[in-house]
Structure 1
Amino acid sequence: MRATKEDDAGPGAVAERVDARGMRAWRGLLRAHAQVTRVLEAELEEAHKLPLASYDVLVQLAEAPNGALRMSELADAVLLSRSGLTRLVDRLVREGLVERQSCPSDLRGTLAVLTPAGLARLRAASGTHLRGVARHVLSRYSPTELELLGDLLGRLATPAEATGACGQEDRAIGGGPAA
């Protein structure tokens, strides 16, 4: 990555271009994420002994075709590093919630596959999680505000585009073909 004159100007010059309204929005987003995540994590842990990251992995697998995703696709979907996901999946395998399988169409690839026990654990925890989301997030906004919030936050998100358990398709931001 090439440095620009803007980079050479130092952090003070950049900060001068970010107004108070922008910084309030940014800090509010960070605080809201941290606060809501902390509360949802605590609720899942208390009721089901299931960390939020584990719940997210189980959700991604349950929504995937055949309950399976390549480890690389799963890491992208749950926003973890490859090594972080490997450690998490190791724990889920030990608990019998996920199993690893070789990808039949690409023997270099490894699939994470949801087990029946994993699906049962997800189903047991989903009510707690969804009630928490409703209580701590959705109840604070009108339907119109939720629509707007979804649109605004959607602009920031780069979805992990999975094309199937063993298929790889490069995607650019916005879901179009990569350049």
Structure 2
Amino acid sequence: MYSMWLTDDEQRIWRDYLTMSARLQAAMNRQLQADCGLSLADYEVLVALEEQPGCAMNELGERLGWEQSRVSHQLRRMTDRALVARHGADDDRRVVTVQITAAGREALAVAAPGHVALVRAVLFDEMSAAQAAAVGRWLAGAVRRLDQAH
């Protein structure tokens, strides 16, 4: 039977994870803003659209794990800056697809090297291949359990 409290080791790991996650998000936002004027949310959308061009808005929300209202607001801001374009689907005007624009691709190309360098420096440079594989399995399991719970 589980205690209602985390053990001391679990509590330390959990708090370190929360601290790392918050600081990494802030560092990525600072880096992206300084390098190219993008937010982390902008970058996430651009990467998702580069990986899956012409994505429907609801699919984009699912890929990002965002509520539809957040997707809609984010896309409005990005459309205003010509980073993405929204279009009604040819066969169903109720379905809105989103595409990355040339300006969005250019912004992504400027942003990616610094973003990748930051992520590598913080997470991967001091991690062995075995550690990376173990962390990858742990994260995939956590995501799977979260998906099953919802």
What is the TM-score with the length of structure 2 in the denominator?
0.88
Aligned to 1:155: 141
Match of 1:108, SS? coil
Aligned partner of 1:33 in structure 2 is 21
Counterpart residue type for residue 27 of structure 1: R
Shift of 1:117: 1.3
Give the deviation of 1:28 after TM superposition.
2.0
Q: Does 1:84 align with 2:61?
A: no
C-alpha contact 1:53 1:78 (8 A) present in aligned 2: no
Q: 1:22 aligns with which of 2, 5, 10?
A: 10
Which structure 1 residue ranges, 5 or more long, are not aligned? Answer: 1-12, 159-171, 174-179
Q: Is 2:89–2:96's contact at 8 Å kept on the other side of the alignment?
A: yes
Which residue of structure 2 lines up, in the alignment, with residue 42 of structure 1? 30
RMSD: 1.8
Which structure shows the bigger proportion of residues in helix conformation? 2
In the TM superposition, 1:11-160 aligns within 5 A as 15-16=4-5, 18-64=6-52, 67-158=53-144
**TM-score, normalization: structure 1?**
0.75
Which whole-Å deviations, capped at 9, do the CAs of 1:92-133 have from their partners, x for residues lacking one?
A: 101111010112343221111111111111111111111111
Contact 2:35 2:110 survives alignment (8 Å): no
Larger radius of gyration between Structure 1 and Structure 2: 1
CA distance in 2, matches of 1:45, 1:124: 11
Separation in 1 of the partners of 2:80 and 2:89? 20
CA contact 2:57–2:96 (8 Å) conserved in 1: yes
SS at match of 1:84: helix
Say whether the 8 Å CA contact 1:58–1:114 is kept in structure 2.
Answer: yes
Question: Unpaired runs of 5+ in structure 2?
Answer: none
Q: Residue deviations 1:53-87, cap 9 Å, x none?
A: 100000000000xx121111111222222111111
Paired residue total: 145
